[in-house]
A = this chain, B = another copy of it.
Amino acid sequence: MSLKIYTAGPEVFLPNAREVMAKKTALCAQYGFTAICPGDLDIPPQPTLYEFGLAISRVDEEMMDAADAIIANLTPFRGIAADVGTCFELGYMSAQGKLVTAYTNVVENHFERTKAYYNGAISVGEDGHKRGPDGLSLEDFDMIDNLMMHGGVIRRGGHIAVHKAAPDALYTDLTGFEDCLKALAKAHSAKTVDEGMRPEDLDASNDD
């Protein structure tokens, strides 16, 4: 059986979202997988913008319910952290025991990005925590983002790909996406879903 892969990420906000999703779909097919791409591309008209948002939420959740795996694009979006919608989706798929993988197109880790957010003004508090000038503590765990995302993937044996994309290809570079496909293919060739593949069968290596 072909794995159905939910392709989560902020590229749905790009002007060429359809083109990027088509490329992801083609790449999935090269590995024998079926892409399930989120977005508002085929949502029927709704009476209000609010109801349109709710309709997208419903369709995206139904897509995830139908998927076997997720490849989450955790590249920072409008700030130092991953797209929050993608993080919701990674949590959603993790709770369902699906195969979870993720990639990022920046090599600076979560701690380095947060430190830069504070212009390096980090101090160590009495409790041993590193803190910004606003008193908020920084996670320093050598992870690509908040520990719930990085830990959620790694603890399930999932793959995390880290790749330095060119600035003008921050959301379109699919090198990390393909790395995740390779990890899924390796696990899938060893054991098919029909035979009961579990998250722990995934390659746990981390090219971080």
Contact = CB atoms under 8 A, between A and B. Distances in A.
Q: How many copies does the complex hold?
A: 2
A35 interface: no
Given A79-B80, A81-B79, A54 B91 contact: no
B84 A143 contact: no
Q: Is the interface of A mostly helix, strand, loop or mixed?
A: helix
Contacts of A203: none
B58 A151 contact: yes
A84 B85 contact: no
Nearest to A81: B84
Contacts of A142: 49-50, 53
Interface of A: 10, 13-15, 49-50, 52-54, 56-58, 60-61, 64, 78-85, 87-96, 114, 117, 125, 127, 131, 135-137, 139-143, 145-152, 154-155
